[in-house]
Chains A and B, each alone.
Chain A
């Protein structure tokens, strides 16, 4: 019961921390992006630093923007979920470890403890440690994917140029006898 309460509280802290991070990023976007001095290539770099794909979208590369943004969302979501699972596994491991090493004090104080119980607790601690290692690996996989997404996204925004054709021909009017069309060109 104590373990369950601790785990629930930990999950709540994790959710609250994640929510604060998201709000912080949104505030940065709202404050920084409209400011002067972030137009052109510099603006694209700043946008890509904040959210992968945003700089590409600013440059007019919408397909690449969608790929980077989608990859960042998937790896970011995976990172948060795997980090929460890792924390739960660590809590379970620490609980078992505390129980196991309390046997030493119990034996020294004269309490009788069954060898099967001690051995069973050690095996449970070993299982929890293996689980924590496994979940740490997954957390690092998602972290690596997010880092790779950011790195490739930034390199891409640095080496690619904005679409010059779009800058002059974003809107066009096609006039016929009985009608006219306003044409918006989007390049991928």
Chain B
């Protein structure tokens, strides 16, 4: 048994050895900012658009990002940032595009997008 003991100890140590965390780490204390709601896109000529939206708790929002929903050559998807809940967009060309808006929290976390097309 004296010879068996080191072998058994080695095997038990190997069995107890795991290379990953025994518990899943806790999530980072990141709070999702409120997604903009009641997003309305209105246009008269498909060139100039008026966008407006609401947000449940504006106090946690630093600013908003506005995106075009489709990719257009030489046009950046993100077209504007604003601290207010409405924006006037002039595309310069009659393009039937959709728009999306998101809110950015004071911790630099971006919310989910809310998208809508022009009416």
A-B contact count (CB 8 A): 67
Query: B26 to nearest A CB, angstroms?
Result: 10
Instruction: Classify the secondary structure of A's interface with B.
Output: helix
Which residues of B in the span 15-38 have a Cβ within 8 Å of any Cβ on A? 15, 18-21, 24-25, 27-28, 30, 32-33
> In the complex, how many angstroms separate the beta carbon of A122 from the nearest chain B beta carbon?
6
Chain A residue nearest to B62 (CB atoms) is: A112
Total count of chain A residues near the partner, CB < 8 A: 35
Q: Which residues of A contact B (CB under 8 A)?
A: 49, 86-87, 89-90, 93-94, 97, 100-101, 103-104, 107, 110-116, 118-119, 122, 125-126, 129, 132-133, 136, 140, 143-144, 147, 150, 154
- Interface set of B (CB-CB < 8 Å, partner A): 3-4, 7-8, 11, 14-15, 18-21, 24-25, 27-28, 30, 32-33, 65, 104, 107-112
Q: A103-B30, A125-B24, A150-B7 are in contact. List 17 more A-B contacts (CB 8 A).
A: A86-B19, A94-B20, A97-B21, A101-B25, A107-B107, A112-B104, A112-B110, A113-B110, A114-B109, A115-B111, A116-B112, A118-B30, A125-B25, A126-B24, A129-B24, A133-B20, A143-B14
